[in-house]
Amino acid sequence: MHIEPRPLEDPDVQALIDEVQLEYVQRYGGPDHTALHPEEFTPPRGLFLLAHSGTTPLGIGGWRARDSDHEGLRDGDAEIKRMYVRGGSRRRGIARRVLDALERTAADAGRRRMVLETGTEQPEAIAMYAAAGYDTLPERFGLWGDSESSLYFSKELPPIRLATEADLPTLQDIERAAGEPFAELDMALVADDAPPTIAELLSYVDEGRNWVSFDENGTPVAYLIADIVDDAVHIEQISVHPRHGRRGIGRGLIDHLAGWARDRGYSALTLTTYHDVPWNAPYYKRLGFHMLDDDQLTPELSDIRAGEAERGLDRWPRIAMRLELEN
């Protein structure tokens, strides 16, 4: 299954919107007359997603930016609209996958909270939102704000977003700080290794594969950049500033990337790391990564390892690891 952006006017999207409107008629006696405009679901102010298997549409969902100029909402909100999975495809986790993708893409765009309205006649949706961590939202908004059958929910999004060009000097500072602990292990070559250049980091920004985790002031404290290597998404670099270590920040970035990879049909994450450094291979093993033997390396991953050896990084035991992703 793939989950990908589609315009609101896309025929497959419109077919599923027609289906969900029929379901509203069956459950509530009439359709949802809330106006949806294509420009509302155009990045960076919104997005509409289609889940499909080959040419078969399975489900849809969209979010649109909302701010405090709408009653009951606040700056940085993203409102979920038209979450729906076809009847024959339900109870397979598709709705939760679409919801996860909506949350992730909204966070990537800088939105800080998801909000939504659903109805009392949709117990399956209510149960899913509760299981996903949504809380009752006392504020009411939109066309159905006065309806007794309307329920409102919200969820704070994790402090992760796509990096911007303005972030890049801070990412270099994070990389330098993250290298310092290696000096304590007599790994001066690693500790003194120069961070990626601004141009290198910017190339990942341009391709949408550079994410940051940020603090309460919006300042990046960790970052992750990723490549596509053979059949997997490869973590080229992940670094957390030591002042913010041991808070689950690295794991949050990896989970974020895993969702991004799954939506695009990739079956695994890979990385290269040091076997004996406590915050390297032992840490990744706890996250579910397993070590690859040399004869298990894919061609491009083998090239990466050869390049690391040429740079002298194999002075200490270094390995490749892989995390299989459920789809």
Domain end position, chosen among 136, 156, 176: 156
71 — pLDDT class (breaks 50, 70, 90): confident
Residue 72: is its pLDDT beyond 90?
A: no
Domain final residue pick, 156, 176, 199: 156
Q: Are residues 174 and 141 in the same domain?
A: no
Backbone angles phi, psi at 20, to 5 degrees: -70, -30
Residue 327 pLDDT: 72
For the chain, the distance separating the N- and C-terminal CA atoms, rounded to the nearest angstrom, is 7
- My answer on whether 152 and 249 are in the same domain is no
Size of the chain in residues: 327
Determine the longest span between alpha carbons in the chain, in angstroms.
71
Distance CA 180, CA 159 (A): 25
- Is residue 114 within 8 Å of residue 105, measured between CB atoms? no
Same domain, 260 and 192: yes
- For 176-217, what is each residue's pLDDT tens digit? 999 999 999 999 999 999 999 999 999 999 999 999 999 999
Is the domain of 35 the same as that of 63?
yes
C-beta of residue 49 within 8 angstroms of C-beta of residue 60: yes
One domain, residues 312 and 184: yes
Same domain, 29 and 138: yes
Alpha-carbon distances of 257 from 183, 306, 315, rounded to whole Å: 29, 25, 29
**pLDDT on residue 245:** 94
Query: Average pLDDT for residues 66-75, to the nearest whole number?
Result: 89
* 289, 323 contact by CB (below 8 A): yes
Of 102, 115, 99, give the one whose Cα is nearest residue 152: 115
Rounded to an integer, the average pLDDT of 150-167 is: 98
Q: How confident is the model at residue 21 (pLDDT cuts 50, 70, 90)?
A: very high
pLDDT surpasses 80 at 3: yes
> In this predicted structure, what is the pLDDT of residue 307?
97
Same domain, 170 and 319: yes
Domain span including residue 191: 160-324
Rounded Cα distance, 67 and 79, in Å: 10
Average pLDDT score over residue span 146-166: 96
pLDDT for 277-302, tens place per residue? 999 999 999 999 999 999 999 999 99
Same domain, 29 and 166: no
Same domain, 168 and 134: no
The CA distances from residue 254 to 5, 205, 216, 261, in Å, are 22, 17, 20, 10
Per-residue pLDDT, averaged over 38-50, amounts to 97
Reply yes or no on whether the pLDDT at 70 is more than 90: no
Q: How many domains does the chain have?
A: 2
Which domain-ending residue is among 107, 136, 156?
Answer: 156
Secondary structure of 112-130 in HEC code, one letter for each residue:
CEEEEEEECCCHHHHHHHH
At position 294, the amino acid (one-letter code) is: D
304 and 190 in one domain?
A: yes
Average pLDDT of the chain is 96
pLDDT at 239: 98
Compute the average pLDDT of residues 125-137. 97
Residues 313 and 165 in one domain: yes
Percentages (nearest 5) of helix, strand, coil residues in the chain: 40, 30, 35
Provide the CA 299 distance to its chain's centre, in angstroms.
27
Structure tokens at 214: 């940020």
The closest of 47, 43, 58 to 12, measured between CA atoms, is: 58
Q: For tokens 């209510």, what's the residue?
A: 126
**Could you tell me if 79 and 38 lie in one domain?**
yes
Average pLDDT over residues 24-52: 96
Q: CATH code at 270? A: 3.40.630.30
pLDDT of residue 59: 98
